[in-house]
Amino acid sequence: MGLSTIPNIITILRVMLIAPFAYFMWQQDYVPALVIFLIAGLSDGLDGLLAKRFNWQSRFGSITDPLADKVLLFVAILLLVMKGQLSWTLFWISTGRDLFIVGGATAYHYLVEPYEMRPTLISKWNTALLILLVLLVLVDLAWFALPSQLLSSLEVGVIITCIISGLHYIWLGICHYRSRGKGSSLKPQAKDKRHVAESTAEKSS
């Protein structure tokens, strides 16, 4: 086991933090839940930094790292919604967006052609706002009260960026499919075949 496995080990440890995080959230023990969430966030930044700085990227890490982040956020949002701290609207829009994007990208990858989807700028902003929202709600519950208007405005911002991001991914998928269709048009192939046939006929005559 070499040093290149360090980012993957950190990612696995972050996955293991999801269970105690969910437990403390369910018990409404928000101080340790907040601490775990902060540790998970710092570990996410650390393993990404190490992977890029020392070129320790791996297929396992490229799949597990974002998946761990998604699961952690999903658990946090779901439990905060169940505790009445966030709206079901946010939950369904954010969850539906992720399922739609992952499902669409997977279907395109296997039914059309291999396609590596990368997060867009608006998607990164949406994730950052979502993390900030969860963090501030936990701070509000664990340490000191924050203005309710601040949390409400941030939640609206997350919902709006979720919708924009989802529509943007749809547009990118359509554009990619159209460009692929133009690039693989049968007309050039037909012309090539006709040219070969004409050349053969000329040679035979």
Task: Report the range of poorest mean pLDDT among 45-59, 97-111, 177-191.
Answer: 177-191
The verdict on 116 and 146 lying in the same domain is: yes
The verdict on 5 and 77 lying in the same domain is: yes
Last residue of a domain, one of 84, 119, 135: 84
Q: What are the helix (H) ranges across 143-185? A: 148-183
> Confidence band (pLDDT; 50, 70, 90) for 182?
low
Domain annotation covers residue 157: yes
The verdict on 55 and 116 lying in the same domain is: no
- Indicate the burial class of 11 (C-beta count within 10 angstroms; 0-12, 13-18, 19 or more): buried
Distances (CA, A) of 50 to 43, 58, 71, 197: 10, 12, 22, 58
- Indicate the burial class of 146 (C-beta count within 10 angstroms; 0-12, 13-18, 19 or more): middle
The contacts of residue 76 (CB under 8 Å, 6+ apart) are 21, 25, 37, 134, 138
> Confidence band (pLDDT; 50, 70, 90) for 205?
very low
The verdict on 102 and 165 lying in the same domain is: yes
Domain annotation covers residue 192: no
The contacts of residue 146 (CB under 8 Å, 6+ apart) are 136, 139, 140
The verdict on 56 and 138 lying in the same domain is: no
The verdict on 152 and 180 lying in the same domain is: yes
> Confidence band (pLDDT; 50, 70, 90) for 60?
confident
The predicted-structure confidence for 157-173, as pLDDT tens digits, reads as follows: 999 999 999 999 889 88
Last residue of a domain, one of 84, 101, 129: 84
The verdict on 97 and 156 lying in the same domain is: yes
- Indicate the burial class of 80 (C-beta count within 10 angstroms; 0-12, 13-18, 19 or more): buried
The verdict on 154 and 112 lying in the same domain is: yes
The secondary structure of residue 92, as a DSSP letter, is H
Distance CA 51, CA 36 (A): 22
Please give the pLDDT value at position 58: 78
Domain that includes residue 68, residue range: 1-84
Question: Would you say residue 7 has pLDDT above 80?
Answer: yes
Q: What angle do CA 146, 38, 52 make, to 5 degrees?
A: 130
Distance CA 133, CA 116 (A): 29
Q: What are the helix (H) ranges across 112-120? A: none
Question: How many folded domains does the chain comprise?
Answer: 2
Global confidence as pTM: 0.80
